[in-house]
Amino acid sequence: MVIDLGKEVAALKRQTAARLRDRYAEVFGEATTTGNKTWLVCRIAWRLQCLAEGDLSERAKARASELARDADLRVILPREKAATAATERPPAATGTVVRP
């Protein structure tokens, strides 16, 4: 079956978040709880494109996996460092104030 991706994406943009969640479950085989329509449309469109035109090559998947292993993925400070950073104050300025 050939899918017209342009028409499919246009139809997705007109659907409600609840219907998009249902469609997401259809194409991915798992449920989602997000209500972000833009994200749902993009993810569903991406998946439909993969199904229609083929996924990444095995070489590309292997390279992506290799890059992900080497990447530093921490985006949030560890709990103890975050607490310390929030309570620390910048050092007080030293020296004397000269008044005219």
What is the DSSP secondary-structure string of 1-51? Answer: ----HHHHHHHHHTS-HHHHHHHHHHHHSS------HHHHHHHHHHHHHHH
Would you call 61 helix, strand, or coil by DSSP? helix
How is the chain split into domains, by residue range?
5-69
Backbone angles phi, psi at 23, to 5 degrees: -65, -40
- The residue-averaged pLDDT of 82-100 equals 57
**Per-residue model confidence (pLDDT) at position 78:** 72
Cα(46)–Cα(54) distance, integer angstroms:
11
pLDDT at 12 over 90: yes
Cα(75)–Cα(91) distance, integer angstroms:
26
Cα(74)–Cα(2) distance, integer angstroms:
41
Which residue's structure tokens are 């607490």?
A: 83
pLDDT at 95 over 70: no
Cα(2)–Cα(52) distance, integer angstroms:
7
pLDDT at 98 over 70: no
Q: 23-81, pLDDT tens digit by residue? A: 999 999 999 999 999 999 999 999 999 888 888 889 999 998 888 877 666 667 777 75
